[in-house]
Amino acid sequence: MIAVFGGMCVGIVIAGSVFAEATPEQRVQELSMEEVFDYASRYPSTDVRRELKGAAFNEVLNREESAIGFMLDHAHIKNIMYQVYLQQLIPRVPAEKAVPPLLRALGSEHDVTRRTAVYFLGLYEDVDEAPRVAALLGHEKTRGMAVRTLGKWRALAYRDQVRELLEKGEERERVIAVNALRDMGGKESVPDLIQALKDEVFTVRFAASRGLAVLEKDSLKPVQKALEAAVKAETDVRELRDLVRTLGAMKSSRANRLFRKLCRHDDTGVATDAQRALDGVFREVLGVDGNNP
């Protein structure tokens, strides 16, 4: 027994010596995903732990699909680091490795996990999976994110569901719906976005303005014609100003004659906005540079 015990001690010493001599990268390769995450996310209080933290972070990135699956399995836990590492992982992992765990997560029992998966799926072009995402439209806690991804995918078959959210959703959902209509593009979105300029909440109106200013690069004439008609017909001062600002964000000068007329408007705010439109300041005001924001 003494001999056996002595042999065990020698074995432990040798194993510990080998582990101690291993580099941080080699050490973390032998760890489970849970242990790697623990080293990567903990606060490093010593030089050794700082080295292990850096090595563990890189190991998380190296494990790609299995790491994404692990983070999604824990996304519902109140630990922001799972979301942080998903943000780090997703852009670096090829679609063929990232999409499968994201699609599996759509069936999670946790709504946070489903929302997280739908959000990241929006970063990929995988419109063939639109029906699986659309299945989440019937759930209050996932419908907004589902609409966002369907918009990113330009899943035109679901435009009516987006319009319904724009009509009946709460503020955040209406903003998401406006952005989805913008992403779907086409002249079919223009009437809905112009109507959204009448929304009672500024954030929705602002999103609609940006959306229309973006759409004009694809279909300039229909958007401008619709906006000019809306400006001429509008009598409410606040709504008229939103229309003028939106039209002023267009690159074309075809509305300049209308703006010069509005510079003589009885309302000082409308007149000022018309002059600013002539000065070409509203693209910057709306944060639009001609690319999809």
Residue 72 makes CB contacts below 8 A (sequence gap 6+) with 86, 101, 102, 104, 105, 108, 113, 116, 117
Distance CA 212, CA 242 (A): 12
Residue 79 makes CB contacts below 8 A (sequence gap 6+) with 41
What pLDDT does 214 receive?
82
Q: For the segment 132-155, what is each residue's pLDDT rounded down to a tens digit?
A: 999 999 899 999 999 999 999 999
Per-residue pLDDT of the chain (293 residues; tens, 9 = 90+): 555 445 544 444 434 444 457 888 888 888 899 999 988 888 888 888 888 888 998 998 899 999 999 999 999 998 898 999 999 899 888 889 999 999 999 999 999 999 999 999 998 887 788 999 999 998 999 999 999 999 999 999 999 999 999 999 999 999 999 999 999 988 889 899 989 988 999 899 989 988 888 886 655 677 888 888 889 988 899 999 999 998 888 877 888 999 999 999 999 999 999 999 999 888 788 777 644 44
What pLDDT does 12 receive?
43
What pLDDT does 267 receive?
95
pTM for the whole thing?
0.77
What pLDDT does 261 receive?
94
What pLDDT does 187 receive?
83
What pLDDT does 284 receive?
84
In this structure, are residues 146 and 133 in contact, taking their beta carbons and an 8 Å threshold?
A: yes
Alpha helices in 22-129 (DSSP H): 24-29, 33-41, 47-62, 64-73, 80-89, 95-105, 111-121
Distance CA 86, CA 61 (A): 10
What pLDDT does 290 receive?
47
Residue 272 makes CB contacts below 8 A (sequence gap 6+) with none
Nearest CA to 230 out of 215, 238, 222, 240 is that of 240
